[in-house]
Amino acid sequence: MLPVQIIGLALAGRALLEKYAGAPSKDVRTPIDFLATNFANNINGLRKRLSAVNPLNPLFRALEPSMLQFKRLVFGDGQERDDYEEIIEKFMPDKGELLLPERPSYTRELHLTDLDGDTKRELIASFRLKDEIRTIILKKGKDGWYKASEISNPGYHVLNYRNVVDISGTSKRHLVLGLSARGKPSVLCGYTFENDEVHEVFSYECNKFDVLRKSTYRKVPLPTSADMSADVERSAPLPADIVLWNKLDDGTYDISILRWNGIEFKPAVGDYTNYYRKKAVPYLAIKAKYDPYSVTNWYNLAEALVKAGAYSDALTAIKVGIDMDKEGIFKDRFQALKNECLFG
């Protein structure tokens, strides 16, 4: 490859990373400019850029008063929430540290919701005690609040995720916990709560995960009878999918999008280009920007771009990756991605 071609390819690669991972500040140059970068700053910059151009921002601002009212309904006003905090403290050990889940972003330390479907809300909280994370579920009886159940996850220190999710799409609610610790895989667990007992429904180890909650509804047929047409339909919530990222020995990722079939999670069928475009591509672009000399990073980014349907940008990532791959380790895989871009 001629020097001018190499320069052109480098510029194309840098433009691609800036498109998806955000442009660097004027005072900081990244490794793509042959100097170091700051990973955390890139993430924060990406978030700011995405929020700045989000066309839904006016809608969010318009809905903010309603959301505040909804939060007051769920958590109560300040005095009521203080009472909930006092209640939780009564059931926590002295050295327990109340945890704030990292995700979803709107989650608070205390979660007040109807988990078991009895129309009465349970109070859920998680805390760290020594080398484990515990999650307690409190119910209110005739004599006040009591601890109905407790989940113990030894060996974990960070509460990455906690939410109540309709995994099955049948309106049956699951408590989903995501946990991590240094030096070991993350874990994503799901539990049901019935008759004051917790039952683990699933548990998956992974390097990274997402829970895709659906806000739309599907049409399902009503049970038929002699005087009811068979094509009468009702609305039912869509099941929530989970995404598991597992890093393989060669540094590539196996990204599995799974859906509950009533017994277990199975590979989901559907169009997930939106997930790759909004979640996978920005994440992998930042990794490539952090270490642009890694062939694996360029392959991961190219594969995600293909799955996002961004074929033109994928071809750019493939070209940069092939140029980096002096030993031809990813030659066949890059060619397979290229063929998919060109021929479908």
The amino acid that residue 193 corresponds to is: F
Mean pLDDT on 88-94: 92
Task: State the pLDDT at residue 64.
Answer: 59
Cα dihedral sign, 110-111-112-118: negative
- Nearest Cα to 242, choosing from 275, 215, 291? 275
pLDDT above 90: residue 59: no
Write the pLDDT tens digit of every residue in 97-109.
999 999 998 889 9
Mean of per-residue pLDDT scores for the chain: 81
Task: State the pLDDT at residue 313.
Answer: 95
pLDDT above 60: residue 227: no
pLDDT above 90: residue 230: no
Confidence of residue 54 (pLDDT cuts 50, 70, 90): low
pLDDT above 50: residue 43: no
Is the Cβ–Cβ distance between 123 and 137 less than 8 Å? yes
Mean pLDDT on 187-206: 95
pLDDT above 60: residue 34: no
Confidence of residue 115 (pLDDT cuts 50, 70, 90): very high
Mean pLDDT on 274-298: 95
Task: State the pLDDT at residue 78.
Answer: 42
* DSSP string of 72-89, one letter each residue: HHHH-SHHHHHHHHHHHH
Distance (Å, whole) CA 177 – CA 162: 5
Between residues 1 and 176, the one the model is more confident about? 176
Mean pLDDT on 265-293: 94
Specify the pTM: 0.74
Write the pLDDT tens digit of every residue in 245-261.
999 999 999 999 999 98
